[in-house]
Structure 1
Amino acid sequence: MSDALLDAVKNGIMSVDLGRQLRVGMPQSPNHPQFWHTLPRRHGDMVRADGGSAANDMITTGTHVGTHIDALAHVSQDGLLYGGADAGQSCLGGKYVEHGVHTIEPMIRRGVLLDAAGFLGQEVLDGGYEITVEDLQGCLAAQHVELREGDVVLIRSGWGRKFDEGTAYVGAESGVPGISEAGAQWLAEQRIHAAGADSIAFERLAPGGGHSALPAHRVFLVENGIYIIEALDLEELARQRTFEFTFVLVPLNIYGATGSPVRPLALVAA
């Protein structure tokens, strides 16, 4: 019996890597532990009698560093998580049992890129710029795509081009472009499954405001059970003008964690 998915793979699949390479010193939110990678054993530290040698690694990292996904346990509002779960009681033995990242099923879904920067005729949106509902709707119309229930929506502000600049990407003084509470509410009404962006905190950060207010996180994670993916690399998708694709993402199966580093892929027929 023919398998349509296997047939598609046989006919050729092109993938676009949407994840950032994990490197010591890369920019990140100041609220999370840094990524660190070292080699406890290098070639030559121990050599077997046959001349063979092996190297190995040790990694320490926060779960919200680099390209990563927020589990529903990541944010609470007035002591409650998504679905009215008590944020305190949901943490058992130091693990968020009810809404931890281990509860996120692997994503193989329709993905939609909203190239807000491209739609607005800019390479990079200004720090602190609010991507409005009108911007999102105009972008959809210009790209000739529509949102459907269960989609994963990725929003490009162009801010990802600043990733290698480090401090500039964090945008503490300049602010960071992104959607606000209004944009999050509108996207939630479309019943999407997850949303992502090329910036450090997904949503708009006001100049000089840092991470002091994150209303889109509340709308998505607490009120609607919509996952958030941050620090995506969306430049190649935008360059190719690939606005619709198969989106693949699998979080690390860390029991009770509030998030996980990820390496998402956009797949299209070759």
Structure 2
Amino acid sequence: MRATDLATPGTDAWLDRTLGGGVEVFDLGRPLYRGMPQSPNHPPYWHTLPRRHGDAVRADGGSAAADHISLGTHVGTHVDAFSHVSHDGRLFGGVDAVENQRGGAMTAHGAETIEPMFRRGVLLDVPAALGLAACEPGYEITPDDLDLTARRQRVDVREGDVVLLRSGWGARFGRGGPAEYVGHDSGVPGIGEAGAHWLAERRVHAAGADTIAFECLPPGRGHSLLPAHRVLLVEHGTYIIETLDLEAVAAAAVHEFLFVLSPLKLVGATGSPVRPLAVTPKAAS
């Protein structure tokens, strides 16, 4: 989506100094609509109007419409809580996964425990660094690719950052039908286990991508193995953000920004829909 101009934010000295000339905001969230691309592992997005204009009309002629929505917490742009993935029966921090889910909700690591993110964000535009429009289907982004991208963009990845990985696959969202973006038969590009360790070694707070499952999906294998989820969510306590729209921020060559994300306080949930923002100083006119 296109960047939006906002007024200068607030009184914080760093913000006033850095963003004093105004800001541009890149909307990194995907639209939610019936039939949108999504993982087959989760309940689909659904929207209805159970109350319509004219169903009830007040004495003064006023009327109101109201909606009902339902969706899985891992549909659309969303963040994974640490309760989302277990390995050998354990969640992050050694929490017993089976005991944690008794009663129908997660008693530890629920989505309500994810603090709002107001952090330095870094975009690693991998295909741009490789001289491509997009990574090939099923391509595994390696640590060498990540090093090369950071070097060519002249940006470093620091502890506590939110790192967003562009593969170029996001351009397929809403194009050619949902199956093209989900990419089960073709495969989907992304990092593998080695790339996840690259991020974990830099102690990033969260990592995200423009794909359906964040990590590399080999052709025909779908979500059968997700080693990067294990490395980040279970072993290192690093949040994962999926189905991001990174095309506009990449086209503007914005590689460093203020990253803003606020999850819903869904108590005991394994994830939350989000609408992340990349905020950067407005270019001088």
Q: Which amino acid aligns with 1:216?
A: A
Aligned to 1:152: 162
Is the partner of 1:15 in helix, strand or coil?
strand
Query: Quick one: which of 88, 102, 114 aligns to 1:104?
Result: 114
- Work out which of the residue numbers 68, 73, 79 in structure 1 matches 2:89: 79
* Alpha-carbon displacement from aligned partner over 1:118-157 (angstroms, at most 9, x marks no partner): 1111112111001010000000000000010000000000
Using structure 1 for the length normalisation, give the TM-score. 0.97
The 3 A distance-change label for structure 1 pair 6 and 178 is closer
One-letter amino acid matched to 1:162: R
Give the 3-state SS of the residue equivalent to 1:182 in structure 2.
helix
What letter matches 2:107 in structure 1? V
Letter aligned with residue 277 of structure 2:
L
1:131 pairs, out of 111, 133, 141, with 141
Query: Which residue of 2 is the match for residue 262 of structure 1?
Result: 274
How far apart are the structure 2 equivalents of 1:232 and 1:65?
11
Which residue is 2:246 aligned to?
Answer: 234
**C-alpha displacement at 1:97, in angstroms?**
1.8
AA at the equivalent of 1:4: A
> Deviation string for 1:241-266 (max 9, x for gaps)?
00000000000000000001100000
Runs of 4+ in structure 1 off by over 4 angstroms are none
Q: Residue 80 of structure 2: which of 65, 70, 83 is its match?
A: 70
Q: Which residue of 2 aligns with 1:114?
A: 124
The residue type equivalent to 1:95 in the other structure is: A
For the aligned residue pairs, the C-alpha RMSD in angstroms reads 1.1
Q: Once the 2 structures are TM-superposed, how far is the Cα of residue 111 of structure 1 from its aligned partner?
A: 0.3
Find the counterpart in structure 1 of residue 236 from structure 2: 224
Equivalent-residue separation in structure 2 for 1:221 and 1:64 (angstroms): 15
Cα distance between partner residues in 2 of 1:140 and 1:5: 25
1:3 has 2:12 as partner:
yes
Q: Secondary structure at the match of 1:236?
A: helix
Structure 1 gaps, min length 5: none
**TM-score normalised by L of structure 2:** 0.92
Whether 1:201 aligns to 2:227 is: no
Task: Describe the SS at the equivalent of 1:173.
Answer: coil
The answer as to 2:54 corresponding to 1:44 is yes
Q: Letter of the aligned partner of 1:256 in structure 2?
A: G
Residue 162 (structure 1) aligned to one of 157, 172, 194: 172
State how many pairs are aligned: 269
C-alpha separation in 2, matches of 1:116 and 1:92: 41
For 1:178, the equivalent position in structure 2 comes to 190
Are 2:45 and 1:35 equivalent residues in the alignment? yes
Deviation at 1:92, TM superposition (A): 3.8
CA positional deviation for 1:4: 1.4
